[in-house]
Structure 1
Amino acid sequence: IALVTIVTLVLRFWASAMFLDNTRGRYETDTNDDGRLPNWFAIFPGTKWCGAGNISANNEDLGIAADTDKCCRTHDFCNDTIEAGGTRHNLTNDAFYTRLVCDCDYDFYDCLKNVSSKVSNNVGLIYFNILGTQCFREDYPIVACIKYEYTPRKKCVEYAYDTTQDKRYQWFDVPRY
């Protein structure tokens, strides 16, 4: 069990460096003034958009896994986000990464599934299963989680709502890939 724990921690660290440092679609250089690893280190192999930021020369510059890269590029340019430490829609993002509106994460999920390549499936597994991020959307207030999945990490996959109250923005676990 200790080996499984170590592997899980290493994967989470690597995955967090790859996907959660910067999801705003900004162009990045190979050097960082603050001593962090260069962004090309945190981009999924074969892509230029899947990971922390991107290493593309422009919006049309894609890696050899172009179809997967298109999914990541679209996800990077989601227009409804809450930056780390930011507040929007009466929600404060206490995570160290940007969180996106659920529609963007659901579209990302569908895009990766439709590509259905080795690269897209690995990106999907890392982002949705290993990182276990959350998204936000407007819905009736959550009163309970009806169903959890536990592999590889605990996440709610079915919620109970109070439909007698007004809808409001809330955090939701992203689906399992």
Structure 2
Amino acid sequence: MKKAQLGLLITSFAIMGGCAKLDAQVNAGGTLNSKGGAGKAVFTAHAARCDGEVSGKVNYKDVTALDWQQSGGVSFNAQVYGAGLCSEDPVSPDGAESGDERLFCKQDICTEGMYQVEFNYNSTNPSLPGEGVGFACMMDISEGIKSGFGANGLLNVMLLESGPYQGYNNAGTISGNVQVKDCPSSKNDDNAE
């Protein structure tokens, strides 16, 4: 699929809305196949949405990425601005009317049980400087299970929507780990018991 078609498809899904995001944390890290290249891509993400507060970072490097390998590949550090565990519940009517994409997961892309992060990235490749936005959906696939093929997580999709790597996307099993867990309870929660 051409980059322009993929971008249009992703944008149309984002406009339609999706399921609500729940509070949770994710820690992910490892390698996956390069997008079209012979090497490996390195992906790390640490994000949280707890009591509506979002924080986190994403780092990524794919030096043999198809279409970017002649320029040194895709490499960036990013700050998370939206995050959450995708639920089976739809976005509340108030959230849907507000149009705030940070409240819902991208329909048909990040589905129930996946953790979605949206981020602002800065290229760390001096040959391709600049900033952009992107998102990633990931899933813990190994809770208590030895997968047998060295993968404990799935990067369902990562798409860079703007900036020097606009249109770059990758997906696959992660030889490393994806862990999704509950947020720590707040002092207010402890006092309410």
Class of the TM-score when normalised by the shorter of the 2 chains: under 0.3
State the TM-score, normalizing by the size of structure 1: 0.24
- Answer 1 or 2: which has greater strand percent: 2
Using CA pairs under 8 Å that are at least 6 residues apart, name the structure with larger relative contact order, 1 or 2.
2
- Answer 1 or 2: which has greater helix percent: 1
State the TM-score, normalizing by the size of structure 2: 0.23
